[in-house]
C-alpha cells in the first residue's frame, strides 16, 4: 500500500488513492498480510539478487513468503524480478 499510493499522493489524485485502496483491500483477488520479521533474510537475498531498494525487496519477500503468484506495484524496475509475476498498476484497466 505504501508504495502504491506514493504517486497518487504526489499528484494530488485522491480518486486514484481511493481506487487503489479499494482494489487492494476489498478485492477477492488480493490479500494483505501484517508485517513480520520472518522474511527479513529472504528480503536480503532478493535485494542482493535483483539490486532492489529495501522497500521493494521486502514487498517481494512478503509476497513470496505468502505464496503469491504475482505482486501489484507501480514501479517498472521491479519487472526484473523473475520469482513471481509483477503487475504494474498503470498497465491494468481499472
Q: Where are the domains of the chain?
A: 2-91
pLDDT digits (tens, 9 = 90+) for 49-81: 999 998 889 889 988 988 999 998 888 889 999
Contacts of 91 (CB under 8 A, 6+ apart): none
Set of cell numbers at residue 45: 537475498
- pLDDT confidence of 94, banded at 50, 70, 90? low
Give me the phi and psi of 54, to 5 degrees please: -55, -45
Q: Are 78 and 4 a contacting pair, CB within 8 Å?
A: no
Contacts of 60 (CB under 8 A, 6+ apart): 43, 46, 50, 52, 71, 78, 81, 83, 84
Amino acid at each position: 500500500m505504501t508504495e502504491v499510493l506514493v504517486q497518487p499522493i504526489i499528484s494530488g489524485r485522491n480518486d486514484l488513492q481511493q481506487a487503489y485502496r479499494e482494489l487492494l483491500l476489498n478485492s477477492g483477488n488480493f490479500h494483505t498480510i501484517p508485517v513480520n520479521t520472518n522474511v527479513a533474510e529472504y528480503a536480503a537475498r532478493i535485494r542482493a539478487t535483483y539490486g532492489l531498494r529495501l522497500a521493494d525487496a521486502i514487498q517481494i519477500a512478503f509476497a513470496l513468503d505468502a505464496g503469491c503468484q504475482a505482486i501489484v506495484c507501480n514501479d517498472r524496475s521491479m519487472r526484473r524480478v523473475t520469482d513471481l509475476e509483477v503487475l504494474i498498476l498503470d498497465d491494468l484497466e481499472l
